[in-house]
Amino acid sequence: MLTTPPLAPKTLAALQSLGINTLDDLHRSGSTKTFLLLKAAGLTITDSTLWQLEALLHGCTPQTLDSAAKAALLATVKTHPPVAAFPVPSEMERFMRIALNEAEQSAAAGEVPVGAVVVKNGGIIAAAHNTCITDCDISRHAEIRALAQAGAALQNYRLDGCDVYITLEPCPMCASALIQARVARVVFGAAEPKTGAAGSVINLFENSLLNKHTAITGGILADECRAVLQRFFETRRG
């Protein structure tokens, strides 16, 4: 278990709230991501916390890290993809099930079954599904429609502080829209190996040439999200 000392009590408490309780947890997260997670959680910390986390990983003291090692860590922090503390699994699953209901509506209309919901302050402000065929419009993906609804609800095209739940990993078009909207967090269900732009084919969310605002995570109810798609395409082939 991680302890204090060497970690400061507030740092230790914040790590525990993030589910980082042991040295193995810290190894899985890494020092730079953990450092950024602590900052995202609102903890006021300095670079010395980063040195402490890295030293724990190597079983040494922060004093043994030379200037080159510290500079490399700071460079990694600057180029690291956005991170965030995501909701507990049960909460993410609850919103994903609502997105799944939207996907089922797409399937019933003969559309590729993808659903999306936008959440702000724990409440849903938009929910949508694919209507590309119905509207004869390639832009009518679930994510784009949900973003438009949320923008209208908030009277702002920038969706600061909003989370978007999507049953399928977003394509490049939708990933770009999510980034431009400055969504805080994206949670998707099934991976999309052919067009996924959140890591499967490309990861636009971590591209250093683009504005980086949005943290992503995937695999929430992945089997159920994938099953909706499989049933749809099996029916079409049949």
Q: Which residues are catalytic?
A: 143
Nearest Cα residue to 166 out of 111, 221, 209: 221
Count of beta carbons in the 10 Å neighbourhood of residue 226: 16
Residue 162 is assigned to a ligand binding site: no
**CA 154 to chain CA centroid, nearest Å:** 22
Q: What's the burial of 207, exposed, middle or buried (CB within 10 Å: 0-12/13-18/19+)?
A: middle
Determine phi and psi for 229, rounding to 5 degrees.
Answer: -65, -45
Q: Which helix (H) or strand (E) element contains residue 104?
A: helix 89-108
132 is an annotated ligand-binding site residue: no
171 is in an annotated binding site: yes
193 neighbors 217 (Cβ within 8 angstroms)? no
CB atoms within 10 A of CB 71: 10
Torsion angle (degrees, nearest 10) of CA 225, 231, 233, 234: 150
With CA atoms as reference, report the closest residue to 126 among 79, 183, 211, 63. 183
Contact 83, 37 (CB under 8 A): yes
Question: Residues forming the annotated binding site?
Answer: 141, 171, 174
Report the binding-site residues for Zn(2+). Answer: 141, 171, 174
